[in-house]
Amino acid sequence: MVHRVGRSDDEQLGKWNGLGGKLERDEDVWSAMTRELREEAGIEVVSMRLRGTVSWPGFHRDGSDALGFIFLVDAWTGEVPASNAEGPLAWQPVARLGELPMWEGDRFFLPHVFDDQLEQFHLVIPYLDGRPQGCSGVLR
């Protein structure tokens, strides 16, 4: 995870977040995730699984929406550096995730990422004034 303390103008300043980013034009989500992990953590993905999707209507400061594809990386090669431009990188125990400062809405979907009884999840977590308003969706 990255502790977003590297840029004072960061919308996620002070929060812990998983790695990822935006799709480039004509890029599929799988390729985007592997590129982002290469850029942000210096690793090459060997194996990963799509765990689910999350739609965040009203998420950004300007009220615009966000959509995320949540992957779990099972195997990789390379050495993760101590930090990147956004802040320190650190492995966090799954049991400790609830203690970290993060987006409040992340607590709705994070348990599903690590739930082996679940094939996939597809959730909607609407935001208003920077706060989640609930969670709905499909757990399969």
pLDDT in tens, 107-127: 999 999 999 999 999 999 999
94 alpha carbon, distance to own chain's centre: 14
Whether residue 139 contacts residue 118, with contact meaning beta carbons closer than 8 Å, is answered with: yes
pLDDT at residue 53 in the model: 98
What does the domain layout of the chain look like in residue ranges?
2-139
Contact 73, 44 (CB under 8 A): no
Q: What is the mean pLDDT of residues 115-140?
A: 97
DSSP codes of every residue in 64-126: --EEEEEEEEEEEES---SEETTEEB----GGGGGGS---TTHHHHHHHHT-TT-S-EEEE--
Band (pLDDT 50/70/90 cuts) for residue 84 is very high
> Model's pTM, two decimal places?
0.93
Interatomic CA distance for residues 101 and 16, integer angstroms: 6
The CATH architecture to which 2-139 belongs is Alpha-Beta Complex (3.90)
